[in-house]
């Protein structure tokens, strides 16, 4: 089964997903998330698509129901994203309800589709005269893109047996090409997404017009053609051509989807300058606009990237959709360049910002993913600080289900480094893999208690006849890494691309054991990150930890805690954290600080009479951020004040 973003055979990429591979997760949190996805989240999503009216909108468009359109203009996209999610899950094994949903919905879409291929229930039902007339906000191509991605996923996961969904998507894509490639106007959509989708559809169908259209949309952007928006053209990434823009600006999800499309176009057309422009923005984003959890988009107003180093823990938006989009962009850059730093950020994002978006039981979602919540958050007004089952603007739940459903496809890449076929293990999760390599069939089994344990054991279960290399990503946080092949020590140094590469004659039964340094570590911010100055975060392996009120001593507020110099953390295994699964909890001796007010204000003279806050010892407990908020809605913080010597 193939996964997302599979470059065409002629694409210019350093790495590729293993072709005709079969990857199956066999344990760990990612498998747990997939099980919850299949058993809880998707059945619930199918209910919501009825309750919220998404499917009814399509039935009205098909002439099979009465009444008016309900919801925001992009209601169709939720249907398409759940279709894509269902397709990936069907790739894991049969499920009658999901199959039935995909089949029924493909037929509904077929009936709702216009003669000319157009398909968008909002404009068909509510505003038939306004088709393609207000692209800055209409989301018509955004919805079209998600339809294409659903069809591509169903095709790759063999969940669209009769090809019906692919036909619907192609008819819409052909219509798009007729209108916007050959057409008179230089239209483009206010919400990027169709660019990457068109390239994916090109990859599946070989139809070059789709690639040409994607390329045209990418090149048209940044010239003020999208249309006026209250937050200005930068909000829609329409202020600077994509070859010139130095930094991610504006609506985070839009910007990230656009970048995924840019890389897709660049690798399929061999445009290295276009690729370099996107990679430069990625590096700028990583260095200046990325939360410790991988969360992106600091500002709630406009759901946008903020200024460089504007990374507030409490006010950050860090939209769930942005986390998922970031993974898609990083994955494409990883394939394009083979540089492990993209896999590093994928890991950070999936295990933290993305992992926390859904409750452990699979029922509730965050749209925003801040790194701090105060005790009185429920009294304040603004962006809600709790998860919900569904939303009026329900983009985030299906963003979770579709990425969770395809997580195994981000674990492995292959390359021909220095003429040697190489299999790169990008992510550490229990899995089995079989794929063609080096003129034969390769089989691997990965066993690990990761992210709780740092030992990753890879067993070659089937060895191809020719030599090949096994490359293991060495995460930069692992201070002491060791590597053994069949019991013998090997150097475990990260090469310039970020991997430890083992080139040898492999035989079935060979084992490699990678040991990553899972010692809890304190992380401090760059001095320009104003919002968490003087603080440290606790990390362990790929996991960012947080301090939840529920785990602290009675009478100690999370917001009074601080870490003393030289603090050390003890690791304590816990079998199940109220549904969040196995975990390693971290405990330390810290202090609680009772601050003083001066003149009734939260400020005081430096060195003045109240200069010494009252401190007392307090034992503290931290849990993985991705498991937070499964045990009540108390205060939480990732960044903890670090007292100086």
| Contact set for its own copies, span 604-643 (CB under 8 A) | 604-607, 613, 639, 641-642
Q: Which two tokens stand for residue 313?
A: 């823990």
At its nearest, how many Å lie between its own copies and the CB of residue 491?
19
Best CA proximity match to 542, nearest among 429, 405, 413, 409: 429
Which residues, at least 6 apart from 2, have a Cβ–Cβ distance to it below 8 Å?
Answer: 17, 20, 21, 156, 157, 409
Q: Catalytic residue at 303?
A: yes
At its nearest, how many Å lie between its own copies and the CB of residue 65?
28
At its nearest, how many Å lie between its own copies and the CB of residue 559?
6
| Contact set for its own copies, span 361-380 (CB under 8 A) | 372, 374, 376-377, 379-380
At its nearest, how many Å lie between its own copies and the CB of residue 532?
8
Among 96, 554, 601, 612, interactor with its own copies by CB under 8 A: 601
Among 9, 94, 419, 600, interactor with its own copies by CB under 8 A: 600
What angle is formed at CA 361 by the lines to CA 558 and CA 402, rounded to 5 degrees? 110
Run of H or E residues at 615:
strand 614-624
Per-residue contact flags (x/-) with its own copies for residues 283 to 322, judged by CB under 8 A: x--xxx-x-x------xxxx-xxxxxxxxxxxx-------
Of 76 and 347, nearer to its own copies (C-beta) is: 347
At its nearest, how many Å lie between its own copies and the CB of residue 290?
6
Of 444 and 640, nearer to its own copies (C-beta) is: 640
Among 268, 447, 551, 559, interactor with its own copies by CB under 8 A: 559
Among 155, 175, 203, 235, interactor with its own copies by CB under 8 A: 235
Of 181 and 375, nearer to its own copies (C-beta) is: 375
Of 404 and 618, nearer to its own copies (C-beta) is: 618
Of 420 and 593, nearer to its own copies (C-beta) is: 593
Of 1 and 638, nearer to its own copies (C-beta) is: 638
Among 93, 94, 602, 632, interactor with its own copies by CB under 8 A: 602
Q: CB–CB of 74/126 below 8 Å?
A: no
At its nearest, how many Å lie between its own copies and the CB of residue 139?
19
Q: Which two tokens stand for residue 23?
A: 């990857």
Q: Catalytic residue at 395?
A: yes
Of 146 and 374, nearer to its own copies (C-beta) is: 374
Best CA proximity match to 528, nearest among 248, 288, 247: 288
Q: With binding defined as CB under 8 A, does residue 254 bind its own copies?
A: no
At its nearest, how many Å lie between its own copies and the CB of residue 381?
5
Query: Taking contact as CB under 8 A, which single stretch among the options 8-16, 38-46, 245-253, 266-274 is the one that binds its own copies?
Result: 245-253
Of 347 and 447, nearer to its own copies (C-beta) is: 347
At its nearest, how many Å lie between its own copies and the CB of residue 553?
18
DSSP-derived secondary structure letter, 125: I
Per-residue contact flags (x/-) with its own copies for residues 15 to 54, judged by CB under 8 A: ----------------------------------------
At its nearest, how many Å lie between its own copies and the CB of residue 236?
9
Q: Which two tokens stand for residue 334?
A: 């990883």
DSSP-derived secondary structure letter, 582: S
Rounded CA-CA distance 175/115 in Å is 10
At its nearest, how many Å lie between its own copies and the CB of residue 263?
17
Q: With binding defined as CB under 8 A, does residue 598 bind its own copies?
A: yes
Among 273, 479, 554, 612, interactor with its own copies by CB under 8 A: 479
Of 93 and 392, nearer to its own copies (C-beta) is: 392
Residue in the structure block whose two tokens are 């503290």:
620
Of 34 and 288, nearer to its own copies (C-beta) is: 288
Alpha helices in 236-381 (DSSP H): 252-269, 272-288, 320-337, 340-348
Q: With binding defined as CB under 8 A, does residue 232 bind its own copies?
A: yes
At its nearest, how many Å lie between its own copies and the CB of residue 496?
14
Q: With binding defined as CB under 8 A, does residue 243 bind its own copies?
A: no
Of 172 and 366, nearer to its own copies (C-beta) is: 366
Among 224, 476, 491, 579, interactor with its own copies by CB under 8 A: 476
Run of H or E residues at 585:
strand 583-594
| Contact set for its own copies, span 343-362 (CB under 8 A) | 344
Query: Taking contact as CB under 8 A, which single stretch among the options 127-135, 140-148, 471-479, 577-585 is the one that binds its own copies?
Result: 471-479
Rounded CA-CA distance 627/226 in Å is 40
| Contact set for its own copies, span 102-161 (CB under 8 A) | none
Query: Taking contact as CB under 8 A, which single stretch among the options 105-113, 324-332, 414-422, 474-482 is the one that binds its own copies?
Result: 474-482
| Contact set for its own copies, span 378-407 (CB under 8 A) | 379-383
Per-residue contact flags (x/-) with its own copies for residues 419 to 458, judged by CB under 8 A: ----------------------------------------
Rounded CA-CA distance 620/592 in Å is 10
Q: Which candidate in 2, 84, 193, 303 is catalytic?
A: 303
Q: How far apart are the first and last CA of the chain?
A: 55
Number of chain positions touching its own copies (CB under 8 A): 84
Q: CB–CB of 501/466 below 8 Å?
A: no
| Contact set for its own copies, span 568-597 (CB under 8 A) | 593, 595-597
Rounded CA-CA distance 256/248 in Å is 8
Among 296, 562, 584, 586, interactor with its own copies by CB under 8 A: 562
Of 236 and 332, nearer to its own copies (C-beta) is: 236
Neighbour-count burial of 461, counting CB atoms closer than 10 A to its CB (0-12 exposed, 13-18 middle, 19+ buried): middle
Q: Which two tokens stand for residue 248?
A: 């991610």
At its nearest, how many Å lie between its own copies and the CB of residue 534?
3
Rounded CA-CA distance 366/321 in Å is 10
Rounded CA-CA distance 386/373 in Å is 10
Per-residue HEC secondary structure of 281-318 comes to HHHHHHHHCECCCCCECCECHHHECCCCCCCCCCCCCC
**Strands in 28-153 per DSSP E:** none
Rounded CA-CA distance 151/142 in Å is 14
What angle is formed at CA 344 by the lines to CA 436 and CA 311, rounded to 5 degrees? 150
Alpha helices in 186-251 (DSSP H): 194-205, 208-220
Which residues, at least 6 apart from 67, have a Cβ–Cβ distance to it below 8 Å?
Answer: 56, 60
DSSP-derived pairing of the beta strands 431-437 and 455-462: unpaired
Per-residue HEC secondary structure of 422-486 comes to EEEECCCCCEEEEEEECCEEEEEEEEECCCCCCEEEEEEEECCCCCEEEEEECCCCCCCCEEEEC
Best CA proximity match to 254, nearest among 280, 271, 229, 275: 229
Q: Which candidate in 395, 396, 535, 546 is catalytic?
A: 395
| Contact set for its own copies, span 516-535 (CB under 8 A) | 521-535
| Contact set for its own copies, span 497-516 (CB under 8 A) | none
Radius of gyration (C-alpha) of the chain in whole angstroms: 25
Supply the residues annotated as catalytic.
303, 395
């Amino acid at each position: 089964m193939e996964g997302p973003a599979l470059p065409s055979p002629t694409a210019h990429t350093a790495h590729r997903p293993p072709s005709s591979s079969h990857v199956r997760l066999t344990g760990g949190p990612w498998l747990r998330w997939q099980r919850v996805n299949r058993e809880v989240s998707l059945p619930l999503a199918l209910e919501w698509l009825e309750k919220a009216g998404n499917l009814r909108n399509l039935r009205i468009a098909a002439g099979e129901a009465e009444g008016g359109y309900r919801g925001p203009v992009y209601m169709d996209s939720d249907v398409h994203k759940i279709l894509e999610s269902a397709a990936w899950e069907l790739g894991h094994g049969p499920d009658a309800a999901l199959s039935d949903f995909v089949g029924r919905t493909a037929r509904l879409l077929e009936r709702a589709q216009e003669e000319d291929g157009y398909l968008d229930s909002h404009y068909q039902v509510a505003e038939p005269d306004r088709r393609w007339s207000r692209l800055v906000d209409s989301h018509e191509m955004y919805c079209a893109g998600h339809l294409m991605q659903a069809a591509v996923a169903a095709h790759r996961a063999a969940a669209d047996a009769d090809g019906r969904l692919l036909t619907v998507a192609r008819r819409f894509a052909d219509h798009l090409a007729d209108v916007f490639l050959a057409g008179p106007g230089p239209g483009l959509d206010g919400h990027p997404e169709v660019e990457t989708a068109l390239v994916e559809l090109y990859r599946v169908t070989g139809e070059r017009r789709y690639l040409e259209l994607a390329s045209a949309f990418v090149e048209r952007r940044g010239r003020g053609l999208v249309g006026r928006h209250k937050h200005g053209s930068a909000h829609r990434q329409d202020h600077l051509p994509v070859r010139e823009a130095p930094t991610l600006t504006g609506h985070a999800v839009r910007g990230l989807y656009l970048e995924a499309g840019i890389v897709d176009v660049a690798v399929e057309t061999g445009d290295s300058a276009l690729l370099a422009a996107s990679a430069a923005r990625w590096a700028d984003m990583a260095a200046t606009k990325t939360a410790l959890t991988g969360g992106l988009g600091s500002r709630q107003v406009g759901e946008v990237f903020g200024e460089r180093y504007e990374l507030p823990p409490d006010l950050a938006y860090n939209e769930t959709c942005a986390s998922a989009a970031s993974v898609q962009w990083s994955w494409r850059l990883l394939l394009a360049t083979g540089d492990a730093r993209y896999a590093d950020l994928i890991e950070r994002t999936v295990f933290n910002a993305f992992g926390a978006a859904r409750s452990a039981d699979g029922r509730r979602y965050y749209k925003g993913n801040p790194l701090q919540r105060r005790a009185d958050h429920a009294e304040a007004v603004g962006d809600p600080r709790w998860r919900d089952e569904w939303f009026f603007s329900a983009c985030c739940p299906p963003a979770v289900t579709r990425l969770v459903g395809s997580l195994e496809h981000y674990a492995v890449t292959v390359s021909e480094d220095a003429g040697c076929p190489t299999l790169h293990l990008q992510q550490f999760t229990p899995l089995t893999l079989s794929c063609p390599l080096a003129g034969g069939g390769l089989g691997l089994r990965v066993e690990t208690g990761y992210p709780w344990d740092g030992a990753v054991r890879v067993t070659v279960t089937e060895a191809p006849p020719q030599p090949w290399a096994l490359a293991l990503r060495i995460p930069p946080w692992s201070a002491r890494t060791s590597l053994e092949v069949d019991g013998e020590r090997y150097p475990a140094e990260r090469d310039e691309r970020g991997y430890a590469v083992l080139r040898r004659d492999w035989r079935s039964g060979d084992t490699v054991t990678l040991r990553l340094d899972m010692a809890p570590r304190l992380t401090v911010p760059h001095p320009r990150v104003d919002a968490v100055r003087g603080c440290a975060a606790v990390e362990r392996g790929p996991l960012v930890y947080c301090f939840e009120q529920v785990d602290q001593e009675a009478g100690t507020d999370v917001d009074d805690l601080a870490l003393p110099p030289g603090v050390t953390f003890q690791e304590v295994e816990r079998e199940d954290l109220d549904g969040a699964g196995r975990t390693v909890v971290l405990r330390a001796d810290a202090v609680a600080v009772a601050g003083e007010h001066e003149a009734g204000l939260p400020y005081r003279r430096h060195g003045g009479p109240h200069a010494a806050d009252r401190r007392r010892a307090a034992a503290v407990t931290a849990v993985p951020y991705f498991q937070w908020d499964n045990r009540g809605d108390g205060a939480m913080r990732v960044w903890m004040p670090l007292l100086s010597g």
